[in-house]
Amino acid sequence: MIKFFRRIRQQLLKENKFSKYLIYAIGEIVLVVIGILIALAINNSNQNRVIEEKEQIYLNGLKEEFQISKLKLSELIKVNQENFSGAKQILDYITHSNEPPTEIQFSQLLFNTFVNDISFNPNNSLLNEMINSGSLKDISNAGLRIQLTNWISTLEQVSRQENDLGMRREKIFELFRNNENSLRTIFDQAGVTQDLGAPARENHNSNLKLLNSIAFENNMLMFILTSHATEKAHYEPLMQDLNAILGLIDNELE
């Protein structure tokens, strides 16, 4: 088409028909501009399609990561609740000293309450890669981008709380780093020694005197308080954030 206009323009120029020449010259320019615009539109369309496909890949990957993280958090909440419940049972024995547990009951309760450390380890490999590479901008939903960015800072707050809970747990262990209280009694009567294939002692030092210890009671109270705060002030809001992120991802995938 452009060659056609060019031939006519050259012919008109030879015949000194300048006005018609100008019209055809403008027509040729218009065609060139239209062609450029069409090419740009096609290129933009292709780029948008590539970006959309890339976004869908990211969204599916993020959904899988956060679903796994949700399962981990649910399990961690369950463990923390069990630790909290066990610690309250110990406090109940301290409060009602006329109804003490047996040595075996106390050993098993101590072991089950403090054997598990609490630490949330979410799956963030893809999210971290997106943040480090600047690919988070490929997520078109601004609200989702904000939630994903805030997720990392929220995890840092949760980690600090978990460290505090771990410190409270460690305070309980410190009471057994002396000659008055016996970890061996706990391990033997909770079945740990047997699981390790190690010989058990026939006679055990009693740990029941801890129930009359002010230091033990103080540390138990701080552990209970911190465990409760970990769930209510950190894990539950974290689960809400997690569900909100999954909801936004699902909306973008529909």
35-90 confidence digits (pLDDT tens): 666 656 555 655 667 678 889 999 999 999 999 999 999 999 999 999 999 999 99
Q: Give the pLDDT confidence score for residue 237 in this predicted structure.
A: 98
- Of the listed ranges 180-184, 196-200, 203-207, the one predicted with least confidence: 196-200
137-157 confidence digits (pLDDT tens): 999 999 999 999 999 999 999
Tell me: pLDDT of 19 over 90.
Answer: no
Q: Which residue has the tokens 């031939």?
A: 7
Specify whether the CB–CB gap between 95 and 163 falls below 8 A: no
223-254 confidence digits (pLDDT tens): 999 999 999 999 999 999 999 999 999 999 97
Tell me: pLDDT of 161 over 60.
Answer: yes
Q: Give the pLDDT confidence score for residue 99 in this predicted structure.
A: 86
Per-position DSSP letters for 22-57, written without gaps between them: HHHHHHHHHHHHHHHHHHHHHHHHHHHHHHHHHHHH
Look up the pTM and report it: 0.80
Q: Which residue has the tokens 């501009």?
A: 33
CA distance 111 to 86: 10
Q: Which of 32, 67, 68, 58 is nearest to 247 (CA)?
A: 67
CA 139 to chain centre: 18
Q: How confident is the model at residue 7 (pLDDT cuts 50, 70, 90)?
A: low
CA distance 113 to 84: 8
Q: Give the pLDDT confidence score for residue 143 in this predicted structure.
A: 95
Taking CA 65 as the corner, what is the angle to CA 120 and CA 113, rounded to the nearest 5 degrees?
20
Per-position DSSP letters for 135-189, written without gaps between them: GGGG---HHHHHHHHHHHHHHHHHHHHHHHHHHHHHHHHHTTSSSSS-HHHHHHH
Phi, then psi, of 148 in degrees rounded to 5: -65, -40
More confident residue, 33 or 166: 166
Residue 210 structure tokens: 């801890």
More confident residue, 232 or 24: 232
Q: Which of 122, 127, 126 is nearest to 73 (CA)?
A: 122
Tell me: pLDDT of 217 over 90.
Answer: yes
Specify whether the CB–CB gap between 223 and 172 falls below 8 A: yes
